[in-house]
Amino acid sequence: MTHSVINFATHSGTKSERRLANLPDRVVDGDPHHETTVHFDNGVLAGTWTSTPGKWHAFTDRDEFCYIVSGHCQLISATGDIQDFRAGDAFLIPNGFKGFWNVIETTTKHFVIRDYSDS
């Protein structure tokens, strides 16, 4: 493990791509594709993520901090509360959030995730 500062702009990270429709019962609308670069994975996960437009059930069992770099997306709670996010916005999705991601315009975010699913 490195103890050096990790600059997301210059660190190559570990890249992956997936079509979210390949996860059964996840997508509600559209055909979102995700590209993720993980820059740090040691108890918390940090990286950069890009999604094409679409709507899907939000993942659970995690705390996730997000900083929107570009694009336009929404988080829609199970009760219907809609929050819009654009470049420069930062927010935290707490463990236990129930709802949806809705990507209006291709969106890129930096993220930090503490995952509880393996606990």
70: its two tokens: 């570009």
Give the residue among 109, 108, 96, 21 at the shortest CA–CA distance from 59. Answer: 96
3 sits in the region (left: phi over 0; alpha: psi -120 to 50; else beta) called alpha
What whole-number distance in Å separates Cα of residue 74 and Cα of residue 44?
A: 24
pLDDT value, residue 57: 95
pLDDT averaged over every residue in the chain: 94
pLDDT band (50, 70, 90) for residue 15:
very high
Asked whether 56 and 101 are in contact (CB, 8 A), the reply is: yes
Q: What does each C-alpha distance from 53 to 31, 78, 96, 118 come to in angstroms?
A: 7, 20, 24, 29
pLDDT at site 117 = 84
pTM of the prediction? 0.92
In the chain, the domains with their CATH numbers are: 27-115 (2.60.120.10)
Band (1; pLDDT cuts 50, 70, 90): low
Q: Does 1 or 21 have the greater pLDDT score? A: 21
**Given this model, what pLDDT does residue 23 score?**
83
As a whole number of angstroms, the distance between CA 118 and CA 31 comes to 28
Each residue's pLDDT tens digit, 77-115? 999 999 999 999 999 999 999 999 999 999 999 999 999
**Across residues 26-34, what is the average pLDDT?**
94
Task: Judge residue 51's burial from the number of C-beta atoms within 10 Å of its C-beta, 0-12 exposed, 13-18 middle, 19 or more buried.
Answer: buried
